């Protein structure tokens, strides 16, 4: 159920993205979202205790009906599991190719290739997702969706770091271990990529112990220099020495976001914030100074924003 369920979810996500924002397809969109919740619940049951063959049959029937309805409504066929597997393999291959000449220190290139392989291998294992589910359900501070897992390809992150405002800060900030910080660092990909590409030390702060343990294991196995992977709540983390802050906030609830914005407003010095959403544009004290887009694991052409903190 685990592997097949993830294939189902990829197809459902594809159809959901393709029908979003089209009023005449709203009924289909609602069915797709309902099916996604059902399949996700079945996958989670399988991760907890092995699940049930009856759940697989139910998922297949539900998905088959929606695939047919999608094709009738749009005139297009949803790609199959083989398509998404090939797409993922191509993305990983593109990341490996992109490493050549990308690091400020060429000695980091083989390390970066090893990191990419380790991260992508980890996220395909049932054990990883089972441990992640247990960790998510053990937390009570925030809704479970706040701990959702997703990944960003190296090729996309290279484009983000090339935003003029970001590149300038990376060149001019000091080498303090906390000068560049990632909140919600997960398995460490953004920490690793930034450190290896730029040669700057990078700190990651993550609240789920299993993700920190996985990130630390990869850092040790691949001998990644200049990274500090910390377990903790970002609201408690000091930003006294931080000049570039990366937020992976796309699933963070409103209450957590409000607390974080209040924390950022109290920051005493200059601060550039990179985020996966544009929510900071609604907060007083921040102005958008850059935008780019790139593929992420949950859809194509996701927008990234750079914000500069300023005094009102």
Q: Give the pLDDT confidence of 70-106 residue by residue, as tens digits.
A: 999 999 999 999 999 999 999 999 999 999 999 999 9
CA 164 to chain centre: 22
Helix (H, G, I), strand (E, B) or coil at 302: strand
> What pLDDT is stored for residue 298 in this prediction?
86
pLDDT (0 to 100) of residue 143: 79
Q: Phi-psi bin for 280: left (phi > 0), alpha (psi -120 to 50), beta?
A: alpha
247: pLDDT strictly greater than 70: yes
pLDDT of residue 53 exceeding 70, the answer is no
pLDDT of residue 312 exceeding 70, the answer is no
Nearest to 181 by CA among 102, 265, 273: 273
CB of 79 closer than 8 Å to CB of 14: yes
Q: How sure is the predictor about 299, in pLDDT bands with cuts at 50, 70 and 90?
A: confident
Average pLDDT over residues 161-181: 96
CA atoms of 123 and 214, how far apart (whole Å): 10
pLDDT at 233 over 80: yes
Q: Given 3.80.10.10, 3.40.50.620, 3.40.50.150, 3.40.47.10, which CATH number is that of 105-309?
A: 3.40.50.150
Is residue 135 over pLDDT 90?
A: yes
Q: Is the pLDDT of residue 210 over 80?
A: yes
The count of residues in the chain is: 312
| Residue 2 φ then ψ, to 5° | -60, -55
Contacts made by residues 287-292, CB under 8 angstroms, sequence distance 24+: 289/165, 290/163, 290/164, 290/165, 290/166, 291/163, 292/159, 292/160, 292/162, 292/163
Can you name the residues that pair with 287 across neighbouring β-strands? 308
Helix axes 209-222 and 109-122, enclosed angle (nearest 10): 140
Structural tokens at position 181: 């910080």
**Rounded-to-5 percentages of helix, strand, coil across the chain:** 55, 15, 30
With a cut of 80, say whether residue 306 has pLDDT above it.
yes
pLDDT at residue 51, as a whole number: 64
Taking the C-alpha atoms of residue 227 and residue 105, their distance in angstroms, rounded to an integer, is 15
Contacts of 117 (CB under 8 A, 6+ apart): 92, 96
Are 128 and 120 contacting, i.e. CB atoms less than 8 angstroms apart?
A: no
The predicted model scores a pTM of: 0.93
Number of neighbouring beta carbons within 10 Å of residue 260? 21
Going from the C-alpha of 81 to that of each of 2, 42, 84, 85, 196, the distances in angstroms are: 13, 18, 5, 6, 33
Residue 52: per-residue pLDDT: 65
Q: Is the pLDDT of residue 271 over 60?
A: yes
> What average pLDDT does the structure give for the chain?
94
Burial classification of residue 46, based on how many CB atoms lie within 10 Å of its CB (0-12 exposed, 13-18 middle, 19 or more buried) = buried
Alpha-carbon separation of residue 70 from 19, 28, 288 (angstroms): 9, 7, 38
Q: What is the pLDDT of residue 166?
A: 98
What the block records as the tokens of 120 is: 């992508």
How distant is the alpha carbon of residue 256 from its chain centre? 18
Backbone angles phi, psi at 247, to 5 degrees: -115, 130
pLDDT of 140 higher than 80: no
């Amino acid at each position: 159920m685990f592997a097949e369920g993830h294939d189902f979810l990829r197809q459902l996500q594809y159809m959901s993205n393709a029908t979003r924002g089209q009023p005449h397809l709203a009924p289909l969109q609602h069915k797709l979202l309902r099916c996604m919740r059902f399949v996700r619940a079945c996958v989670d049951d399988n991760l907890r205790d092995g699940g049930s063959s009856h759940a697989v049959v139910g998922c297949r029937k539900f998905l088959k009906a929606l695939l047919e309805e999608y094709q009738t409504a749009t005139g297009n066929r949803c790609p199959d599991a083989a398509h998404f597997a090939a797409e993922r393999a191509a993305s990983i291959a593109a990341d490996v190719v992109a490493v050549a000449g990308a690091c400020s220190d060429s000695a980091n290139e083989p390390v970066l290739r090893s990191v990419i392989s380790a991260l992508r291998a980890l996220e395909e294992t049932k054990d990883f997702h089972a441990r992640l589910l247990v960790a998510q359900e053990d937390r009570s501070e925030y809704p479970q969706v706040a701990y959702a897992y997703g990944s960003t390809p190296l090729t996309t992150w290279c484009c983000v770091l090339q935003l003029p405002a970001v590149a300038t800060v990376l060149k001019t900030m000091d080498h303090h271990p906390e000068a560049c910080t990632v909140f919600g660092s997960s398995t460490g990909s953004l920490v690793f990529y930034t450190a290896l590409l730029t040669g700057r030390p990078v700190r990651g702060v993550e609240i789920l112990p299993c993700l920190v343990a996985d990130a630390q294991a990869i850092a040790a196995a691949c001998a990644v220099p200049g990274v500090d992977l910390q377990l903790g709540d970002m609201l408690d983390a000091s930003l006294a020495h931080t000049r570039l802050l990366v937020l992976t906030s796309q699933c963070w609830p409103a209450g957590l976001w409000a607390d974080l914005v209040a924390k950022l407003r109290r920051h005493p010095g200059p601060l550039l914030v990179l985020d996966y959403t544009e929510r900071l544009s609604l907060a007083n004290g921040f102005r958008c100074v850059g935008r780019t887009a790139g593929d992420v694991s949950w859809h194509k052409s996701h927008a990234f924003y750079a914000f500069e903190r300023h005094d009102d």
